[in-house]
A and B are shown apart, each in its own frame.
Chain A
Amino acid sequence: MKGSKLVPDADLTILANLRQAGPARRRGEEQLFTSYTYFIKKGMQKYSLPEEEAFDAYADAVLSAIETITRGSFEGLSTLKTYLFGIFRNKCVDLLRKKATNKSSVHRTISITDMLFFISDSGKTVIQRLVEQADRDTLKKRLNELGGACRQLLLLSAEGNTDKQIVELTEYKTAAVVKTSRLRCLEKLRHLYKTI
């Protein structure tokens, strides 16, 4: 990919960082975010959005792009700038359409859909209905009440890091310890969620 006419070297650096775990990925996220923050001003001018909303659209666009890249779905058919601006433009239009609704709903992860693919159709229907009934806001609240170590562990896992990768990013000694700790945290979260 190096030297490709379509993908500038700066993009390659960001992409390479995003495709790693831990600090490198975090650096890639920040590099991508800071590279095109002027889109926010463009959004304000072109779509007459207040800065806060243009920022939301931009941040959501960056998060979507990060998700696509880290999942390996970014094909590199355009520059990151063009790709990101396409997402950003759609987010701005979405915002204009949904102005009367909750802004934070602009970015929705699709991880749950991915995980449901594991399950056969009949089981999927049952689980999907149950998942829809879950109170996600309360779950998030309880997640934040878990405390630093548990919260970090569950978020690292949610980011797509394997237990082995988590060992490299934390002070845990082995993947088995990570798994045990992670499941204990999940147990604790379930207890908090169901009893409080």
Chain B
Amino acid sequence: MDETLEYIDDYFKGEFSPTQAVQFERRILEDPAFAGEVAFYLSAAEAARDQLSEDKKTRFREIYRLSGQGPARQADRRMPPVRKLWAALSVAAVILAIVAGWWLFLKPATPQQLADRFARENWKSLDLTMGATVDSMQAALRLYNDGQVREAGIAFEKMVGSDSSNIFAKTYAGIVSFRLKDYDKALFWFGLLEKKHKEYYVNPAKFYQAITLMERDHPGDKEQARLLLQQVIEKDLDGKEFAQKWIKDF
């Protein structure tokens, strides 16, 4: 490791004594190459900050686009202006919390029963306002809610094909696979959701993978689900309320 960079880093992390700081500053004046290194360190930090802001702005743009408030949705004036996707997710989180409270009194016996009940309560029909930013999404959700689950799955997968950043299509594709008892495929979609969308912290991927494993109940699934639920709790991810309750039953 470059000792000069470490020396500069220690200075800016405030790890120097006053005497060491004076020596550092004197070196800036006496050693042009060292001054250049310090300037690089600061320029790199600034470039990283700029990039961070750009990344955040990109994320905001994506949230805004998926919320249906962008230009593509201007025809839909009936929607309240603040009808946002993430607000909808917050509502979903509240519903999750309510259902979690309800679960407290049921004390279901096995992880598989827990997963099964969750799916019946939460995935029997999907909220049309969640992610319903384009007509094709609305149409696919309607298919799902009308019981045409397989057809809805094809539509969601098609949407992912045309827009690989569409996290909702991926989520729904996973839910469809779960409903069709194709658990391997459900794990594929939820796994993809986790790997490709780490930037979204409102992301239920780990929790949904745990549910799928609980439902599939192959040898080792229960242990793996437990690990995932543990991560959901530790990292304060979506589904934490459920995970905290369920993990006691493992």
Residues of A whose CB lies within 8 Å of any CB of B are 22-24, 26-27, 29-31, 33-34, 37-38, 40-41, 51, 55-56, 59-60, 62-63, 66, 107, 109, 111-112, 115-116, 118-120, 122-123, 126-127, 130-131, 133-134, 136, 139-140, 143-144, 151, 154-155, 157-159, 179-180, 182-184, 186-187, 189-190, 193
B44 in contact with A116 (CB, 8 Å): no
Interface of B is mostly: helix
A51 in contact with B44 (CB, 8 Å): no
Beyond A109-B49, A115-B42, A116-B42, is A187–B60 a contact (Cβ under 8 Å)? Answer: no
Query: Is B50 interfacial (CB-CB < 8 Å)?
Result: yes
Query: Is B91 interfacial (CB-CB < 8 Å)?
Result: no
> Shortest beta-carbon distance, A6 to chain B, in Å?
22
Alpha-carbon distance A140/B53, docked complex (angstroms): 12
B42 in contact with A140 (CB, 8 Å): no
Task: Give B21-58 as 1s and 0s: 1 = Cβ < 8 Å from A's Cβ atoms.
Answer: 10001001100000110111111111111111111110
B46 in contact with A112 (CB, 8 Å): yes
Q: From A26, A41, A51, give the contact of B81 (CB < 8 A).
A: A41
Query: Is B9 interfacial (CB-CB < 8 Å)?
Result: yes
Residues of B whose CB lies within 8 Å of any CB of A are 1-2, 5-6, 9, 11-12, 14, 21, 25, 28-29, 35-36, 38-57, 59-61, 63-64, 67, 69-71, 81-82, 84-87, 90, 199, 201-202, 235-237
Alpha-carbon distance A107/B90, docked complex (angstroms): 29
Across the A-B interface, give the 4 residue pairs with the lowest CB-CB distance, nearest first.
A130-B39, A158-B48, A134-B43, A139-B47
Alpha-carbon distance A116/B38, docked complex (angstroms): 10
Which chain B residues lie closer than 8 Å to A139 at the CB level?
43-44, 47
B82 in contact with A37 (CB, 8 Å): yes
Q: From A107, A111, A126, give the contact of B45 (CB < 8 A).
A: A111
Which chain B residues lie closer than 8 Å to A63 at the CB level?
53, 56-57
> Shortest beta-carbon distance, B33 to chain A, in Å?
11
> Shortest beta-carbon distance, B56 to chain A, in Å?
6
Which chain A residues lie closer than 8 Å to B54 at the CB level?
140
Q: From B5, B41, B45, B61, give the contact of A55 (CB < 8 A).
A: B61
Q: From A33, A60, A111, A159, give the contact of B46 (CB < 8 A).
A: A111
> Shortest beta-carbon distance, A162 to chain B, in Å?
8
B40 in contact with A30 (CB, 8 Å): no
Q: From B9, B25, B56, B81, give the contact of A119 (CB < 8 A).
A: B25
A62 in contact with B202 (CB, 8 Å): no
Alpha-carbon distance A23/B38, docked complex (angstroms): 32
A59 in contact with B60 (CB, 8 Å): yes
Given A37-B69, A131-B43, 11 other A-B residues pairs in contact with their CB atoms under 8 A: A26-B199, A30-B202, A31-B90, A34-B63, A37-B82, A60-B57, A63-B56, A140-B50, A154-B44, A158-B48, A179-B9
B47 in contact with A143 (CB, 8 Å): yes
B44 in contact with A186 (CB, 8 Å): yes
Which chain B residues lie closer than 8 Å to A157 at the CB level?
45, 48
- Measured CB to CB, the nearest residue on chain B to A130 is B39
Beyond A119-B28, A158-B52, is A134–B39 a contact (Cβ under 8 Å)? Answer: yes
A136 in contact with B43 (CB, 8 Å): yes
Beyond A111-B49, A122-B29, A134-B43, is A26–B1 a contact (Cβ under 8 Å)? Answer: no
Which chain B residues lie closer than 8 Å to A116 at the CB level?
42
> Shortest beta-carbon distance, B24 to chain A, in Å?
8
A29 in contact with B56 (CB, 8 Å): yes
Beyond A27-B202, A126-B29, is A33–B44 a contact (Cβ under 8 Å)? Answer: no
A186 in contact with B29 (CB, 8 Å): no
Alpha-carbon distance A144/B38, docked complex (angstroms): 21
Beyond A34-B67, A131-B42, A186-B44, is A109–B53 a contact (Cβ under 8 Å)? Answer: yes
